Amino acid sequence: MTLFKGWEGPDSLAEIMQEIFVTGGAGFIGSAFVRLLLDEISELRIRNFDALTYAGNLDNLEGLDGSRHSFIRGNIADSEAVLGALSENTYAVVNFAAESHVDRSIANAAEFLTTNIVGTQVLLDAARERGVKRFIQVSTDEVMGSLPENEDVFFTEKSPFQPNSPYAASKAAAEHLVRAAHETFGLDTVVTRCGNNYGPRQFPEKFLPLALSNALNDQPIPVYGDGRNVRDWIYVDDHCRALLLAMEKGRAGAVYNIGARNERPNIEVVESLLKTLGKPKSLIRFVKDRPGHDRRYALDPSLIETELGWRPQETWESGLEKTIEWYRQNTQWLERAKSGAYRDYYREQYGEEVSAG
Ligand code: NAD
Ligand code: TYD
């Protein structure tokens, strides 16, 4: 029986995996990963454990096969809840759950420490207690800080940790704990560091969906500083395919960079969006810079390319088109995401009201 398309491992289903425990699977990337797993692996069951914070959204899980996917509301920092939900049949824990927005971490870091650091340790302990085979930590390029612009240098897996925001520092701390669990207890861990994701179902506090949503509503698009900060963009499903490979074939104890060799200054991202949407550049509004704003992220993905054979499938253009089309077709999703507490956040962060639709 073939488990994965292209699966090369042992044949016995029982030997390999029965159940995957995904944390943060109601968020942007986690929900895309859950979809991918259900599509790609015929026999697999998923337990999706998520606290449903402001960023978690059950709309993201609409239409999933309930016989193979179950949702459990719970906090990864609550060890009783985690142990209650984590079964001994679990092949892998894939940890997406996190406070993920840099600006919020600058306003208040407390939740970042509880979820991103304490929560990761709770999961590691629970994984050991339940005899889980693998632990995949979804991390970020931001743990390595900022690169100089206009120089031919990239983050590799050996780049030093130099986190510059409370968010990045909390993710770096989590990575240290994962490493420690591997070195001290022999837990089979894999850490992945990805660049900036874009795609359907991304919460509109993040730059790309915020810009897209404002452009669709003819509202000004806030661009921090001079707009020349560079991010390395990747379509969310390409990230998820890399995670699947890392779970399937990644070396125990390894770290893999996941990047699509797609560096873009923020201003160019907005201009691409506006051009595709047929909206004027006059919507761009330069605003006060983010404190400690990292200048440039750029990943060297050679290791995952050579070791695991991963390649992105989308180009920037094809990914952007899919993303824009999804947001156009799902205005209700966007409206619901932008209601409630998000209105207060937007007012606080940008000093004006969020756009209506
Ligand atoms: P997101 O903010 O959209 O989703 C986070 C999810 O985690 C939400 O569903 C939320 O309810 C859940 N969550 C938060 N705190 C929790 C807790 N204490 N217990 C259980 N669930 C909790 O984030 P995302 O963009 O999907 O990012 C997912 C992961 O990928 C994060 O670990 C993030 O650091 C990492 N990452 C994201 C990007 C990116 O560009 N978005 C890039 C690299 C790495
Ligand atoms: P963001 O989506 O917050 O991701 P990260 O900070 O994790 O890279 O921001 C992406 C880039 O866009 C970053 O350089 C900050 C910038 N940005 C703006 O210019 N305006 C905004 O309103 C936001 C949210 C971000």
Ligand of minimum distance to the alpha carbon of 59: 1
Domain count, the chain: 1
As a whole number of angstroms, the distance between CA 257 and CA 6 comes to: 22
Cβ density class 166-179: b for 16+ within 10 Å, e for less:
bbbbbbbbbbebbb
pLDDT score recorded for residue 150: 86
| Å from CA of 223 to ligand 2 middle | 8
Catalytic site residue from 19, 50, 103, 142: 142
The tens-digit pLDDT sequence of the chain (357 residues) is 344 555 555 444 444 568 999 999 999 999 999 999 999 988 899 999 999 999 999 999 999 999 999 999 999 999 999 999 999 999 999 999 999 999 999 999 999 999 999 999 999 999 999 999 999 999 999 999 999 998 999 999 999 999 999 999 999 999 999 999 999 999 999 999 999 999 999 999 999 999 999 999 999 999 999 999 999 999 999 999 999 999 999 999 999 999 999 999 999 999 999 999 999 999 999 999 999 999 999 999 999 999 999 999 999 999 999 999 999 999 999 999 998 888 889 999 999 888 766
Question: Is 142 a residue of the active site?
Answer: yes
| Å from CA of 101 to ligand 2 middle | 9
Domain assignment present for residue 217? The answer is no
Question: Is 167 a residue of the active site?
Answer: yes
As a whole number of angstroms, the distance between CA 267 and CA 282 comes to: 12
The CATH number that applies at residue 49 is 3.40.50.720
As a whole number of angstroms, the distance between CA 118 and CA 76 comes to: 8
Q: Which atom from ligand 2 is nearest to the alpha carbon of 207?
A: 2
Task: Specify the 3-state DSSP secondary structure of 187.
Answer: coil
Domain assignment present for residue 83? The answer is yes
Distance of CA 275 to the CA centre of its chain: 26
- CB within 6 Å of ligand 1 — which residues? 23-24, 26-30, 50-53, 55-56, 75-77, 96-100, 115, 119, 138, 140, 171, 194, 196-197, 203
Nearest to 201 by CA among 25, 23, 48, 51: 25
| Å from CA of 181 to ligand 2 middle | 32
Domain assignment present for residue 306? The answer is yes
Distance of CA 279 to the CA centre of its chain: 28
pTM above 0.85, yes or no: yes
pLDDT score recorded for residue 2: 43
Nearest to 98 by CA among 168, 191, 195: 168
Amino acid identity of residue 150, one-letter, is N
| Å from CA of 318 to ligand 1 middle | 24
Show the tokens assigned to 204: 């509109």
Catalytic site residue from 19, 50, 99, 141: 141
Question: Is 268 a residue of the active site?
Answer: no
Q: Print the domain residue range for 143.
A: 13-201+233-262+292-316
Q: Which atom from ligand 2 is nearest to the alpha carbon of 269?
A: 12
Task: Specify the 3-state DSSP secondary structure of 135.
Answer: strand
Cβ density class 26-35: b for 16+ within 10 Å, e for less:
bbbbbbbbbb
Domain assignment present for residue 356? The answer is no
What secondary structure letter does DSSP report for 90? E
Cα of first residue to Cα of last residue in the chain, in angstroms, is: 47
Which residue is it, tokens 């947001």? Answer: 327
Domain assignment present for residue 274? The answer is no
pLDDT score recorded for residue 344: 87
